[in-house]
Every structure is written in structure tokens, then in C-alpha cells.
Amino acid sequence: MLYFMASLYLLAGVNHFLYPDFYYKMIPDYLPFAMQLVYISGVIEIILGIGLALPRTQKTAARGVVILLIAVFPANLNMALNTQDWHISKATLYSRLPFQLFLVFWAWIYTRDENREQQNITWKTKLVLLFARLRKPIDPNENIDIAQLRKKSERASRLGTLLFDSKIDVVDTIDATANGVPIRIYKNSKSQNQDVIIYFHGGGFVLYGLHSHENICRRLCTMNDCIVLSVDYRLAPEFSFPVAHEDAYTAILWTKNNIEKHGGNPNALILAGDSAGGNLAACMAHKCKKEQISLKAQILNYPWIDGKLDNPSIHRNGKGYLLEKETMFWFQEQYTPNKNDHCNPLVSPCYEADFSGLAPAFILTAEFDPLLDDGFKYYNQLLKSGNKVKYTEYKGVIHGFLNIPLISNTAIKSFADIHTFLKSL
């Protein structure tokens, strides 16, 4: 995008000198020295084009683009209002205005955060971050209507899915209950003895459900040719700790006893989840070990592991990257209102006494995620205790990237990495 913009401005700048009369007519009558302004703007556009092409000056040049576009907007408006003076179609003239607004929008996004210049964040990710900044769903300083918050969050989730994901077809879906806990089963074949991924959705133990994470489950189902069972555990603040964890374990027991009827192998259970769901998967791996329930693997996607909420990445990435530090503390207050539970090993698995003998784990983290260090530290705890564990930090992406995998090549690659890991077991 930067090099396209650079070539665009170089070409526009040169055209000011090749066709000065054309640009002269664009200048509103009330501005003096019209021809001089044509040549000056040509020089400026050439300089901006060169600046956009050079890595060290790209951000400064992008700021210049914003200023220039605002400055020349009256000229473009003048063209649109006086179409009879131009030997160009009205459609072409009118299209200049939204194009100019798009360029302002792009350049503004690009220059919003000083820390993102050298950080490989795609323009799609920046668009998501801008949307989150403009439409911040959670303000812990206000009285929050939980029902309205969930509706807003679901709408935002659907928009993200619409823009940056695609629905994957599966052979069959079955809505059922696991001893009272709502579940949805995804099947991609009618074969028997399939691996079974039990998936726990994220959302801070407060938000989302079966619909918000449907595309993740569908993609896991098709890419791994397995059954996926999505768990709709009860949410806080109506149901605080340990209800979500109890529902998770109930779903596991039901799966162990019933999944064979659906073609699944009860001895090839894989626990998986993202964010708060990653917490559930990690905690249930410990629970299953204690209860002697064998697991094939655990997939922890940017998991919430440590109830202290004081790892360096929480402070480093705690603002401006979708999931924010103050929001995490608010989520914690909803699910664990008793502060004594914050570091309870049953909800903060990094404080368990024994890490040996756990199911093979794949921990995925995002470079610009407050929970980055949660995943990395937990990886080290598992590794030091002799477990088989794989860890990958995905560069240039943010918390929740599995829900919007088409946001970058890095995000979509994570699903392929999960497939490779499971094939290796």
C-alpha cells in the first residue's frame, strides 16, 4: 500500500508540470497566485512520493499526505461543483471526493501510533483497532448494562467475521445439551473413531457463545478432519467462579461418555480454547490429569493464565490493541468478585503445584496482546516439568486473531500450525 501511494504521488507531482493548465482550472477563483500554487503542489507531491518510498521517512510523509489532502480538498470540491468546465465524465469527477477521503482515512490510520511503524501490523488490523477505539464497548468507569454489552459485542463479532473471515462448510452440526450445558457438535464426515476437539470460547467469562466462535470451530473441524464440540458455558456476572469451570468439566465428562455415538473417539479428546476459553482448557487439563481422564492434547490460544494481571505485556500492550488492561480487570471482577480467588490454581493454572504429566500442549500467542506473557510463562512452566509443548508467538497480530483470520497471512497460518501439531502426536 505504501509503495502504491508513493508511485501515485510521484505521478501526480510530475503531471503538475506536464499539464499545468489542467490543474490551474482546479484552483478556486478566490485564491491568488494560482499557477504558482500548481507548481508548488507538484513539488510537494513529488517530495511526499519519495518520502513514502523511503522507510525512514514513511511516517512523516504520511502525515504530510493528511495535511496536503485536507489542503487540496477545496480544489476537488470546486471541480465537482463545476463539472461543465471539464472534459471528464461526472462520475470521474465525483469519484475524486470519496477517493480523497479514503486517502485521508488511510494516512490517518497509518500515523495513529508511533509504536507501529516497525511492527508489521497490516492495514486491516489497523482498521480493526480504529473501529475498536471509536466504538469502545466497555468503559469500566460507567455503569454497564450487561445485556446491551453482549448485544453490542455480538454485533461487532459478526462484523469482524463478515469482513475478515469466511464461513466453512461442514457435513453436519448438532445442537444438544451435555448434562444441562448447551453444546454444538460439528462433523465433517460420518467416519468412526474421529479425534474430538472440545472448544471453549473466549470473552472474559462474560461475553459470547456458540455463534461468535462458530467459524473457528468449523475451520478446526474441516482442517483436522475431526469432530469439534463447542461448549456454551454459563457467563458472569450472573454465574461467577467456579461455574464456567464446572460447566467445562461437565461437558468433558459428557463427551467422554457419549461422543462415540457421534463417531468420536472418547480416548482422543483434545481441549482447546481462546482467551478465557484458553484458561478453561488449561485448567481442565489439570483437572483431567487429577481425575485420570486421558487427553490427546491441549490447544491454548492466547490464554488467560495468571490472575495477578501484572505480567509485563499487560502493561506494554494494555492500551490500543483491542483487549485493554482496564477491561481485563473488569472481566476479572465479574467472574472472580472474591479477590482471594484471583490466584486460586483452579482459575489461575500457573499456580498449580504439579505440572508434570499434562497432555501435550500447543500455546499460541499474539505479539500485540496483553496476555502474551501469560502464554509464554505458562509454556516455560510446562516445558520445565518435562511436558511435550510447542509455543509460537504470531508477529503483527492482536488478541482475538483466530476470529478474524483473514486479517493477515500470519493469522490464517495459525490454523495450519494447529493442524501440523495435532498430526505430529
Catalogue the active-site residues.
275, 369, 399
Give, to the nearest 10 degrees, the angle between helix 58-81 and helix 34-53: 140
Q: Is the dihedral of CA 84, 88, 93, 96 positive or negative?
A: negative
CA 349, chain centre distance (Å) = 24
Q: What does the alpha-carbon distance between residue 164 and residue 42 come to, in Å, rounded to a whole number?
A: 37
Sort strands 181-187 and 172-178 into parallel, antiparallel or unpaired. antiparallel
User: Grid coordinates in use for 81?
Assistant: 461543483
Residue where the block lists cell 501526480: 12
For 384-414, b/e burial (b = at least 16 CB within 10 A) is: eeebebbbbbbebbbbbbbbbbebbebbbeb
Whether the bond into 137 is cis, omega within 30 of 0:
no
User: Grid coordinates in use for 247?
Assistant: 460447566
Dihedral angle, C-alpha 58, 61, 67, 70, nearest 10 °: -70
Is the distance from CB of 313 to CB of 370 less than 8 angstroms?
yes
For 55-72, b/e burial (b = at least 16 CB within 10 A) is: eeebbebbbbbbebbeeb
Is the distance from CB of 149 to CB of 208 less than 8 angstroms?
no
Type of residue numbered 255: T
Q: What does the alpha-carbon distance between residue 157 and residue 230 come to, in Å, rounded to a whole number?
A: 17
Looking from the CA of 362 toward its CB, the CA atoms found within 13 Å total 23
Q: What does the alpha-carbon distance between residue 124 and residue 133 come to, in Å, rounded to a whole number?
A: 14
Cα 375 to Cα 76, 204, 271, distances in angstroms: 51, 16, 16
Cα 275 to Cα 91, 208, 369, distances in angstroms: 48, 12, 10
Residue where the block lists cell 450445558: 181
DSSP, residue by residue, 84-122 = GG-SS-HHHHHHHHHHHHHHHHHHHHHTS-GGGSSS---
